[in-house]
Structure 1
Amino acid sequence: MVDTGTGPLPAYTETLPRRPESARCARRMVGLALGVWDLDGLRDAAEIVVSELLANAIQHARRESVRLTVTRLGDTRVRVAVVDLSRTHPVRRSAGSDDESGRGLDIVDALSRGQWGVDSMRWGKRVWADLVFEETTGE
């Protein structure tokens, strides 16, 4: 549970090594949380978002670990966040068609519909993205 000052919210959190192999564990944890909360419709988007946020932390952060949190913010809203010990904020950049990197935050922005951000902390930062499950009708 995460206490936001307005009461506790259901959440899963885990400290992971700052290594590329941690992405698999992060995706698994996100999928588990969404399954428990009956929000499986967010699974694909959330797994991509956590992979991108984690990749940025792995590439640019300091220290040996990062903290992953998946928080249920309401009936259909989930926040995926990665905390690291670097105060340097991520920067969106334009990637050329031949570039192998530089698209991660654009992907996060698209999947979260612009609902993402960075919270500065005394010792680092939290990069988060909110995802909303919208049921579609089969017409």
Structure 2
Amino acid sequence: MTVTALGRTPAPVMRWSWATKPPCVRLARRQLEKYLSQWNASELADASTQVLSELLTNAIRHAPNSCTDHVGTMFELSGRKLRIEVSDTHEEIPRACQAGVDDECGRGLAIVGILATDWGVAPRTAGADSVIGKTVWAEFDIPL
């Protein structure tokens, strides 16, 4: 899905829904790289695509039902900030942990914390009292 502003340039907010399958990580990274280039923010490509990979991989790995579930991504350029969001239906809040030297997992959010200017988690709601998952977000300052 491509949203355009004035028929030429992508709007500064892009959203997609992905099946919870590993190929979506590569496809989402390509979309982010494409829009960073069009938004004249390519200098953020390395760090932001790595963070997107970590967040999206976590969402897929912990999806309640990987056969039917979807995850959403959102990229937003606002002023001198880039915001990336990954939303899923799993209610468990991710937490950075201390991975051991031989551990194969557990470093993703530590990497996010190093590469992003800021990151966090917000519940997704479907009304006043109904939580339907979470959104994990990361922000990057765009250098002058």
1:71 aligns with 2:76: yes
- Offset at residue 39 of structure 1 (A): 0.1
1:116 aligns with 2:119: yes
Distance 1:123 1:73 in 2: 27
Q: Which amino acid aligns with 1:118?
A: V
Q: Which amino acid aligns with 1:10?
A: P
- Offset at residue 133 of structure 1 (A): 2.2
- Offset at residue 36 of structure 1 (A): 1.2
Q: Give the match for residue 111 of structure 2.
A: 107
User: 70, 84, 97: which one pairs with 2:88?
Assistant: 84
Distance 1:17 1:62 in 2: 13
1:51 aligns with 2:53: yes
- Offset at residue 62 of structure 1 (A): 2.3
TM-score (normalizing by structure 1): 0.85
State the Cα deviation string for residues 92-133 of structure 1 (Å, max 9, x = none): 1100111111000000011113x1000112211100000112
Tell me how large the CA RMSD over aligned residues is: 1.4
Identity within the alignment, %: 37
Where do 1:5-84 residues align within 5 Å? Answer: 10-63=12-65, 64-74=69-79, 76-84=80-88
Does the CA-based 8 Å contact 1:62-1:84 persist in structure 2?
Answer: no
User: 87, 99, 102: which one pairs with 1:98?
Assistant: 102
Distance 1:11 1:105 in 2: 24
Unaligned runs of 5+ in 1: 2-8
Unaligned runs of 5+ in 2: 4-10, 125-130
Distance 1:89 1:62 in 2: 13
Moved over 3 A (4+): none
Distance 1:62 1:128 in 2: 20
SS in 1 for 2:25: helix
SS in 2 for 1:118: strand
- Offset at residue 10 of structure 1 (A): 2.0
Distance 2:12 2:43 in 1: 18
State the Cα deviation string for residues 45-88 of structure 1 (Å, max 9, x = none): 111000000011011122421001001121x3100110001111
